[in-house]
Amino acid sequence: MGHVRDLPQKSLGVDLEHDFKPEYVISKGKSAVVKKLRELAKKADGVILATDPDREGEAIAWHIQYLLKGKKFDRITFHEITKTAIDEALKHPGTVDLKLVDAQAGRRILDRLVGYKLSPILWQKVRRGCRPVGCKAWR
């Protein structure tokens, strides 16, 4: 179902004064998913996080863990959706890899900073159709 939290859409969402700390909010359209996850987690003894084994998947797992505080979490990874692969992953649960989470957060924050700081300048310099104003190379 993808990311359930992200930087806010209508503001920078990054605290430049405090080590670029991100401000996460529940993503648009994901409130119902978060509500359902919380309801299901209340009934469970623990939660198995089985998102993709890359930095985006690890970030999704970390955000779900954050939203469902107080539960026991097991992180499993597998590279094929077969009974054998899933059974093997369940035998060797781990934890969320915070290095991958930090890598995803760093990339997301950098994208946001470049987007918010550079986009207004680009829009001033580029006409519709992506032709730079006054750029001889485009003539």
What was the pLDDT predicted at 135? 52
Query: Which CATH number is 5-138 given?
Result: 3.40.50.140
Tens of pLDDT, residue by residue, the chain (139 residues): 899 999 999 899 999 999 999 999 999 999 999 999 999 999 999 999 999 999 999 999 999 999 999 899 999 999 999 999 999 999 999 999 999 999 999 999 999 998 877 777 766 766 555 555 555 554 4
Answer yes or no: pTM beyond 0.75. yes
What was the pLDDT predicted at 79? 95
Task: Provide the residue ranges of all domains of the chain, joining segments of one domain with +.
Answer: 5-138
Provide CB contacts within 8 A for 59, sequence distance 6+.
3, 100, 101, 104, 105, 108
